Amino acid sequence: MNDLLLRALKCEPVPRPPIWLHRQAGRFLPQYRAIRADHSFRHLVGTPEIAAQITKLPIDLLGMDAAILFSDILVIAEVFGFAFDFSDGKGVRLKEPEAEVRRDVRETLSYVAETIQLLKKDLAVPLIGFCGGPYTVSTYMRRTTPEWLEMITTATIEYLQMQVEAGVDAIQIFDSWAGKLDPLDFSTLALPYLKKIVDALRPTGIPITLFCRGSTRYIKELVSLEPTALSFDWEKEMHELRKEVPAHIAIQGNLDPAILKGPLDVLQEKAKSLLCSMQGERGFIFNLGHGVVPETPVENVRWLIEYIKVTEKG
Ligand code: CP3
């Protein structure tokens, strides 16, 4: 298996940085859009054979160094009776439950474990499992209270334990909106719940990456949780961040997705500058600072992956 990602997560020396992209399995790929044209998003996510096929698309077509499970941070809401889907042009829709329910996590989300098991049979790169941060999930559920944050956290821990048992090689927690909170709210609504998850998963030894938009404001707090890695957006230069994050914690990022969209010469210049600025640094994973946008030309992504790969030494 190509284990560059796992070695970079451990801050071991690597011949070149591994590269994968947030939202790489999604809408920028015509092959994804073709599959999606005939089915709802929920159907794709909930059918292990299809979800596994979509997870592999970017690896097979473009050669990223890691696969991220094709799913969504909002599937956990099904445990509480919410139904989710994404209708074209209408954005996210979580349907309120008719009655208060609390379903069994492993049973409700067994399709995720099945997808992981299918993928692990023949995937040649590490598989990243994921969940949403409780704060971010609670905002989509419109339930941001201590009681709900606690319930979402407990369900999330069980959900991640299930993913680890099914075979994922690493975990990423997307607390996308937490970085936008003011310091007091960040320390009460986001951080304690992230800590519970990281602490609960630590005994499994699984590498855990934390991602929040705007996380450069909360480096000290996030470092205090002792995650394996922190994923950053483009608010600060990566080589500056390397100095602020202790050497045993890997860092991931942070090309602006708007740059990946093109023009190509600007992308080439920025990617080169980011890569050069991190030369010789341990624990660096090349990624975007947020998700690939749907209008991104596939050719730009192909160029980027190839560019990172030709820098391999020895
Ligand atoms: O990264 C991947 O390619 C793997 C799968 C993945 C999806 N969503 C698939 C998806 C991952 C890791 C996510 C994470 C996610 N989902 C986040 C955190 C990361 C971030 O971008 O901040 C959040 C906040 C969500 C919630 C969500 N899901 C929104 C707001 C939307 C609608 C807007 C959008 O981005 O498309 C989704 C839908 C969604 N999730 C799609 C995909 C491929 C598009 C569904 C479709 O085809 O209509």
Pocket of ligand 1 (CB under 6 A): 22-27, 36, 41, 68, 70-74, 86, 91-92, 130, 174, 176, 290-291
- Mean pLDDT of the region 271-281: 96
C-alpha of residue 216 to centroid of ligand 1, in Å: 22
At residue 89, the pLDDT reads: 65
207 — pLDDT class (breaks 50, 70, 90): very high
Per the CB < 8 A criterion, the answer to whether 92 and 34 are in contact is: no
Mean pLDDT of 214-240: 97
Residue with tokens 């159907």: 43
pLDDT of residue 313: 61
Does pTM top 0.95 for this prediction?
yes
Q: Is 97 left (phi over 0), alpha (psi -120 to 50) or beta?
A: beta
Mean pLDDT of 2-13: 98
pLDDT tens for 100-157 read: 899 999 999 999 999 999 999 999 999 999 999 999 999 999 999 999 999 999 999 9
Q: What is the pLDDT of residue 93?
A: 77
Q: Are 255 and 293 in contact (CB under 8 A)?
A: no
Nearest CA to ligand 1 atom 6: 72
For the stretch 15-64, pLDDT in tens is 999 999 999 999 999 999 999 999 999 999 999 999 999 999 999 999 99
Structure token digits, residue 138: 């609670």
Asked whether residue 92 carries a pLDDT value surpassing 50, the answer given is yes
Instruction: Give the CA radius of gyration of the chain.
Output: 19
- Give the strand pairing for 91-95 and 83-87: antiparallel
Q: Label residue 314 by pLDDT band (50, 70, 90).
A: very low
pLDDT of residue 124: 97
Q: How far is the CA of 94 from the centre of ligand 1 (A)?
A: 13
* Residue appearing with tokens 């995720």: 112
Q: What is the mean pLDDT of the chain?
A: 96
- In one-letter notation, the amino acid at residue 95 is K
**CB atoms inside a 10 Å sphere around CB 74:** 20
pLDDT of 236 over the 80 cut: yes
Q: Ligand 1: distance of its center to the CA of 288 in Å?
A: 15
Q: What is the pLDDT of residue 289?
A: 97
22 phi and psi, to 5 degrees?
-55, 130
What average pLDDT does range 166-179 have in this prediction?
A: 97
Q: What SS3 class is residue 284?
A: strand
**What six digits make up the tokens of 3?**
């284990």
